[in-house]
Amino acid sequence: MKIRPGIELASLTDVGCQRENNEDQYSYWEPESDEQFALKGRLAIVADGMGGHEGGQEASRIAVDTVQQTYAMGPGADIQALLTNAFHVAHRRIQDFAFRRPEFSGMGTTCTAIALRQNQLYYAHVGDSRLYLLRGSVLSRLTHDHSYVGRLVETGVIRSEEAEFHPQRHILTSALGAGLDISLDCPSTPVPVQKDDLLVLCSDGMWGMVSEREIQDALAERSLEKASRKLVDLAKQHGGPDNITVQLIRISE
């Protein structure tokens, strides 16, 4: 895969310590033509499927394939609109698949996708995979979890510190393929990025086992390959009950 200058990239997925199959999917894409690259930039996606052994795998696969294809083929250069439309198309395709195959009833998936064009970051998100931005020594979470516990935090019932270890933190309130519609988390305006910013896309198998302090410490590693391995290893050392996926993107110019 050709990656144009401007970023460093590392991606890693692991089945974890307790699962037999990996229901996570990820991808990185950029157009072949320089003209299209100028219009659409780079796209990275992480999805974490649910709905039983094969259902989760199928849901996350459909989500990643559909978001990438729909974004790539979409007309125009309105990045946020392209991302939003791609998520709605993926939502319908997963539902159509489950309708035709009743054994996959209840399948769905989280999905977090970012698009980078020049120095602007766009994203769309549903579920409880996450997008973080590390700038200098400050780690910020850009996405909001669509989960029961996330709702408790937003309404002030519990504190965010309590949410990280709440036993019901993985109960989702929105996912691709689930329900009539989806609640999309998108920025109102693109987020400016700068040299040495580090973006982290990850499934809950990573952030649910690794504290934000540990994430920051791991990201101090200059090699993104070593940093991604360190994050996966930490999640497994802490029990690794779920699949673990992480994509790291550093802005290099």
- What is the token pair recorded at 13? 């997925």
The CA-CA-CA angle for residues 185, 190, 196, to 5°, reads 110
> pLDDT digits over 82-119, tens only?
999 999 999 999 999 999 998 888 899 999 999 999 99
In a domain, 112, yes or no: yes
d(CA 6, CA 36): 16
User: Average pLDDT for residues 121-142, to the nearest whole number?
Assistant: 97
Distance CA 5, CA 167 (A): 43
Q: Looking at residues 26-47, what average pLDDT do you find?
A: 97
The per-residue pLDDT for 156 is 64
Instruction: Indicate the pLDDT class of residue 76, thresholds 50, 70 and 90.
Output: confident
Q: Rounded mean pLDDT of the chain? A: 92
Q: Which residues of 48-57 are buried (b: 16+ CB within 10 A; e: fewer)?
A: bbbbbeebbb
The one-letter amino acid code at 207 reads: W
Q: What is the CATH number of the domain that holds 160?
A: 3.60.40.10
Domain that holds residue 35: 20-127+145-188
Predicted local distance difference test score (pLDDT) of residue 31: 96
In a domain, 3, yes or no: no
pLDDT at 169: 59
For residues 159 and 210, the model is more confident at 210
Prediction pTM value: 0.92
Around Cβ 168, how many Cβ atoms within 10 Å?
10
Residue 196 lies in a domain: no
**Residue 175 included in any domain:** yes
In a domain, 238, yes or no: no
- Domain membership flag for residue 58: yes
Task: Give the count of domains, the chain.
Answer: 1
User: Mean pLDDT over residues 50-72, rounded?
Assistant: 92
- The predicted model gives 57-83 an average pLDDT of 96
Q: Please report whether residue 160 resides in a domain.
A: yes
Min mean pLDDT across 140-144, 169-173, 221-225 is at 169-173
Interval 206-247: pLDDT, tens: 999 999 999 999 999 999 999 999 999 999 999 999 999 999
Question: What are 240's two structure tokens?
Answer: 């690794």
Q: What is the pLDDT of residue 170?
A: 64
Query: Would 78 be classed as within a structural domain?
Result: yes
Give 187: exposed, middle or buried? Use CB within 10 Å, 0-12, 13-18, 19+: middle
Q: How confident is the model at residue 179 (pLDDT cuts 50, 70, 90)?
A: confident
- Split at pLDDT 50, 70, 90, the class of 181 is confident
